[in-house]
Amino acid sequence: MNKLLTTALLIFLISGFFPVVSIAQEAGHYTCYRASSPIVTDGILNEPDWARAEWSHDFVDITGDPKLKPGLQTRIKLLWDDENIYIAAELKEPHVWAKVQKKDDVVFQDNDFEIFLDPDGNGTNYYEIEVNALGTIWDLMLTRSYKNGGKPLSDWDLKGLKTGIHIRGSFNDASKPDTSWTVEMALPIAGLMEGKKAGSKPAEGVQWKVNFSRVEWQIDVDNSSCIKKPDPLTGKPLPEQNWVWSPMGEVNMHIPSRWGRLEFSSEAVNAEALKFKNEKQRQVFQVWFWMGAHADWTSKEWDSVLNGFQSAGVHGILTQADPSTLRKLIPIAQKHGIVVEKWFVAMMNNDKDLIKSHPEWFVISREGKSCISDPAYVGYYRFLCPSNPEVIKYIKKRLDEYLDIAGLEGIHLDYIRYPDVILPKALQPVYGIVQDREYPAYDYCYCKVCRDNFQLLTGRDPVSMGHPENDTAWRNFRYRQLNSFIQELSVYCHQEKKSLSAAVFPGPSLSKQLVRQEWDQWPLDAFMPMLYRNFYFGNLDWIRAETAEGVKALHAGNFLYSGLYVPSLTPRELRTAINKSLEGGANGICLFNYEAMSVDHWKALEECLGSSRK
């Protein structure tokens, strides 16, 4: 799974999509696929479906502090069928021990594995299940979190719960080295759904709030016995270590709102072939990649990478390469049949000389503050105003560097928008803000050019309106300013025989709401909506729905390639995301990004594309 600090930095440095956020705030996500054959809960995990199910990322410290990296690996994988949710956990351990034997005793006095489940996602009547290496269970229900007055109900039992423990090594014998212990559990869905909403029952796209934890005590070895290490000052055992799947930000598991998400997929865990709607879709299907500049790559390195693209079935790349690098790589790309477009950041601009010489070109918030001195969210969020005629001249001049490059297919626009007036839902808590409406600090643009032009059209100054955020004419005016800007760029690029595409927000209904992109009105050759579900708490089917909306909104002859965010997709999820894109009617996919692709991602992609060519 991705670590959001790393990927957010990657986004800024390579695409500049969203503000940087902290790793401690990222919640986990796991897609649970259906088992295709029976699972025996013996702890051994030798069924074929377990081999196909993907391991989670390794557990982290409960606080999320990367400096407190756990000393032992813990990971999980899950499956489901009509009767059960199957959970497997592997806990590396040099000395496997346990003492608690009575059901519903305090199991975490031993090293243990713990499961937290909130099917309704409302923080009430949620479940906790603990198990030690003896297989002793403590299952309980909590009416709500402890800090909110919740009570643990230990007399609650998950009827039909099955548990298997497998120990690699000895048990309760510290004189012999051990390797690990494995937990395998079958949780009856019927028992988990008692008193829950019908819509929470596992099905395609349903998501539960969940977390998983491991309690690990520091021990001393006394002959063959494991004894909890005492605090030298008090003589009492040192505090336990808490390692979790989804970081909590503090030492407290009982904050369900901070748990991760378990998403159920109706697909079988064994890989499925691509599902084209018809033969026409199969014929036009293309795969694109966003990728960095790589100005330091030699021709030999470019040849190797582009040859790999060709072998995998990739159609084209959107690269941040400078003119010199483009002239070097394009002939190599042509040799391998790879199309090249220049990835061009349009409206966001942090050029110090430009800021100094033309501060009036930059957007102004409803508070009357320039994004130069008071950028929204983060320090690099400085945007040019599309209403200013000098800005379009400036952008065209920058484009001239690329439009005369022989063999360059076209220009791919990014940041062709206003700053986010509303952030995607998953990012708002990171900044401690609630954006249930358009607030002045994030509402752009109120520069003199925008105000004068709007007043000329309507006789009204938006600054003088009581609530300009609710004024339809003012909102539509800003849509049209960006539309006109794109129209000019389209004519400019097309007259140079270059295609024009753009990275856009999902929708277009959502893109209009968040960044004022009315992109279904743009005269572009192709659209790459950035369907990054983790920023919207979206499930995999959300990709299908957003793709379908975009395809329906576009005019005939336009192409849409679903933008998929590789850092938040496991290789198995990538297969599903591609199929969801096809189901929504996409002409193909565009992957963010080449640099995030693992060996397993490439394997999954090549298998998908190989099946599509059969």
On whether residue 249 sits in a domain, the answer given is: yes
d(CA 190, CA 119): 12
Q: How far apart are the first and last CA of the chain?
A: 31
Q: Would the pTM count as exceeding 0.75?
A: yes
Residue 538 is which amino acid? Answer: G
Q: Averaged over 178-200, what is the pLDDT?
A: 97
Query: Mean pLDDT for the chain?
Result: 94
Q: Is residue 318 domain-shared with residue 259, that is, in the same domain? A: no
The rounded percent of the chain whose pLDDT value lies above 70 is: 95
Interatomic CA distance for residues 239 and 216, integer angstroms: 9
Determine contact, residues 375/20, Cβ cutoff 8 Å.
no
Number of domains in the chain: 2
pLDDT (average), residues 347-353: 98
Distances in Å between the Cα of 433 and the Cα atoms of 260, 298, 377, 422 are 20, 46, 10, 10
Q: Does 325 lie in the same domain as 217?
A: no
User: In this predicted structure, what is the pLDDT of residue 25?
Assistant: 52
Pair (184, 242) in one structural domain: yes
580 within a domain of the structure (yes/no): yes
In a domain, 170, yes or no: yes
Residues 157 and 34 in one domain: yes
| Alpha-carbon distances of 100 from 133, 228, 244, rounded to whole Å | 9, 14, 22
Domain shared by 335 and 223, yes or no: no
Q: What band does 555 get if pLDDT is binned at 50, 70 and 90?
A: confident
Q: Which of 268, 295, 327 is the last residue of a domain?
A: 268
**pLDDT recorded at residue 459:** 97
Instruction: Supply the CATH number for residue 365's domain.
Output: 3.20.20.80
pLDDT for 2 equals: 31
Structural domain boundaries, residue 555 = 279-612
Beta strand pairing call for 112-118 and 74-80: unpaired
Residue 262 sits in the same domain as residue 312: no
My answer on whether 436 and 511 are in the same domain is yes
pLDDT confidence tier of residue 14, bands split at 50, 70 and 90 = very low
Residue 8 within any structural domain of the chain: no
- The per-residue pLDDT for 22 is 40
Q: Is residue 593 reached through a cis peptide bond, with omega within 30 degrees of 0 on the bond before it? A: yes
Annotate 7-23 with b (16+ C-beta within 10 A) or e (fewer): bbebbbebbbbbbbbeb
Both 304 and 334 in a single domain?
Answer: yes
**At 241, which CATH number?**
2.60.40.1190
Q: Residues, the chain, total? A: 614
Residue 15 lies in a domain: no
| Reported confidence tier of residue 307, pLDDT bands at 50, 70, 90 | very high
- Does 112 share its domain with 68? yes
492, part of any domain: yes
Confidence of residue 431 (pLDDT cuts 50, 70, 90): confident
| pLDDT band per the 50, 70, 90 thresholds, residue 612 | low
Q: Which of 548, 491, 560 is nearest to 519 (CA)?
A: 560
Estimate the share of the chain in helix, then strand, then coil, as percent rounded to the nearest 5. Answer: 35, 25, 45
Claim to verify: residue 215 and residue 118 sit in the same structural domain: yes
Query: Could you tell me if 387 and 253 lie in one domain?
Result: no
If asked whether residues 382 and 247 sit together in one domain, one would say: no
User: 64, 83 in Cβ contact below 8 A?
Assistant: no
Residue 274 lies in a domain: no
Take residue 606 and report the two structure tokens written for it: 């090549």
Domain boundary pick from 268, 296, 314: 268
Q: Classify the C-alpha dihedral 75-256-197-208 as positive or negative.
A: negative
Query: Where a domain ends, among 211, 236, 268?
Result: 268
17, part of any domain: no
Whether 272 has a pLDDT exceeding 90, the answer reads: no
Whole-number pLDDT of residue 137:
98
The predicted pLDDT at position 263 comes to 98
Mean of pLDDT values over 359-384: 97
